[in-house]
Amino acid sequence: MKTKAVILTSGGLDSATLLAMAHSNGRECYSLSFDYGQRHRAELNAARGLAERYGDVIHRVVSLDLSAIGGSALTDMDIPVPTTPQEGIPITYVPARNTVFLSLALGWAEVLGASEIYIGVNAVDYSGYPDCRPEFIAAYQQLIGVATKAGVEGASISLETPLIDLSKGAIIDAGLRLGVDYSLTVSCYQADEMGRACGECDSCRLRAAGFEQAGVPDPTRYR
């Protein structure tokens, strides 16, 4: 019997690689995406396409409204997305996003009897978000042990973070070896309805630099 795994699938470059890795590891994959009040839905369309491409057992989209608390350029339309590099934690950081996402993934994992949750956090080529660091993952793994029925009864639910120590170029290289079609992914913070990228935001810059590092053409569709 295959190991069941919940895969956090955003539709971006990292989550596409993550999904390919989980499948290559022989996991029975259940993709989970979030419609959380972000600027665009193009990434959700990409996530659906990726889940279908890999034949995931279920692709579930959970709706929640993080725009109700705001505080981020990704959930507050009155805050512009920066187009130049920022010092410190950027305004595109969404407060508590990964904490909330992992909590819902954890609940679904318990319901499914899944023993793994894959999340595509990265602490090398990233925007400086505090909830993408190894310290956050380690703390959340401890929480799982004390906050769940599975943990109390001795059944482990493991957070899998295979991208956390990889550069963006290394992530792309790994994905290409697994046959990932990155033209199907959307990473831009302010993509249009067709999924075309702005080419100026932090996510676009990191993505473009990754393809340059990997030494392969950038398949991103730009406006």
Domain, as residue range, for 119: 4-214
- Does 32 map to a domain? yes
In a domain? residue 220:
no
Query: Is residue 7 scored above 90 in pLDDT?
Result: yes
| CATH code at position 148 | 3.40.50.620
Q: What is the pLDDT of residue 87?
A: 84
Q: Which of 73-77, 78-82, 146-150 shows the lowest per-residue confidence on average (mean pLDDT)?
A: 146-150
Per-residue pLDDT averaged across 186-211, rounded? 95
Q: Is residue 205 part of a domain?
A: yes
pLDDT of residue 155: 81
Query: DSSP letters of 40-107?
Result: -SHHHHHHHHHHHHHT-SEEEEEE--GGGT--STTT-TTSPPPSS--SSS-TT--TTHHHHHHHHHHH
Average pLDDT, the chain: 94
Residue 168 and residue 125 in contact, taking contact as beta carbons nearer than 8 Å: yes
Q: Is residue 72 part of a domain?
A: yes
Q: Domain for residue 73, yes or no?
A: yes
Tell me if 221 is assigned to some domain: no
> Does residue 111 form part of some domain?
yes
Alpha-carbon gap, residue 51 to 33, rounded angstroms: 10
Instruction: Give the residue-averaged pLDDT of 147-171.
Output: 92
Cut 0.85: pTM above it = yes
- φ/ψ (deg, to 5) at 72: -145, 145
Q: How many domains does the chain have?
A: 1
How would residue 159 be classed by pLDDT, with cut points 50, 70 and 90?
Answer: very high
The answer to whether residue 114 is domain-embedded is yes
Residue 191 pLDDT exceeds 80: yes
Identify the sign of the CA torsion 177, 183, 185, 188. Answer: positive
* Residue 214 in this model has a pLDDT that exceeds 80: yes
> Is residue 126 over pLDDT 80?
no
Q: Is residue 48 packed enough to be buried (19+ CB in 10 Å), middle (13-18) or exposed (0-12)?
A: middle
Q: What is the mean pLDDT of residues 123-141?
A: 91
Helices and strands, number each (H, E), in the chain = 7, 5
31 Cα distance to chain centroid: 11
**141 residue type, one letter:** Q
